[in-house]
């Protein structure tokens, strides 16, 4: 297992980590990598990036902020939770992804990229990678 350390810079942020994941996998032998986010207020997704898709991550960030409003009356704040919206936003993403490996690199489509999704930042975060 490998671990990536990440630093996010905004409360809600999609951070393209494709290059970091590929670098962490350099020399890895296997057919599949599983990426796991060990946090309840963050997630991981595959989304478009690159030429003609440079604004997709920002659109997804804003959409999640609009879909799950921080100003709602959240019931679990009575339990002391200070970031209930972040839990709901993370539930709309994924806590893990499995991606095929091709010649030791992520087998992604032409416009696909791996994004770490922050919903309670800025923070230091971890991502766990397991190759099988």
pLDDT number for residue 81: 86
CA atoms of 17 and 14, how far apart (whole Å): 9
Name the nearest CA neighbour of 49 among 118, 93, 116, 110.
110
The pTM is what?
0.95
pLDDT digits (tens, 9 = 90+) for 36-85: 999 999 999 999 999 899 999 999 999 999 999 999 999 988 898 899 99
Q: What DSSP assignment string belongs to 112-132?
A: EEEEEEESS-S-EEEEEEEE-
Give the pLDDT score at 27: 84
Count of other CB atoms within 10 angstroms of residue 76: 11
CATH node for 2-131: 2.60.120.460
**What residues does each domain of the chain span?**
2-131
């Amino acid at each position: 297992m490998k671990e990536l350390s990440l630093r996010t810079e905004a409360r809600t942020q999609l951070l393209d980590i494709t290059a970091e994941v590929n670098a962490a996998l350099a020399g890895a032998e296997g057919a599949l990598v599983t990426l796991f986010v060990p946090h309840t207020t963050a997630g991981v997704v595959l989304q478009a990036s690159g030429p003609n898709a440079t604004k997709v991550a920002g659109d997804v960030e804003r959409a999640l902020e609009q879909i799950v409003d921080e100003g709602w009356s959240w019931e679990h704040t009575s339990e002391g939770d200070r970031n209930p919206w972040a839990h709901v936003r993370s539930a709309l993403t994924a806590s893990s992804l499995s991606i095929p490996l091709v010649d030791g690199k992520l087998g992604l489509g032409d416009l696909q990229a791996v994004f770490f999704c922050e919903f309670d930042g800025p923070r230091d975060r971890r991502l766990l990678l397991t190759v099988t």
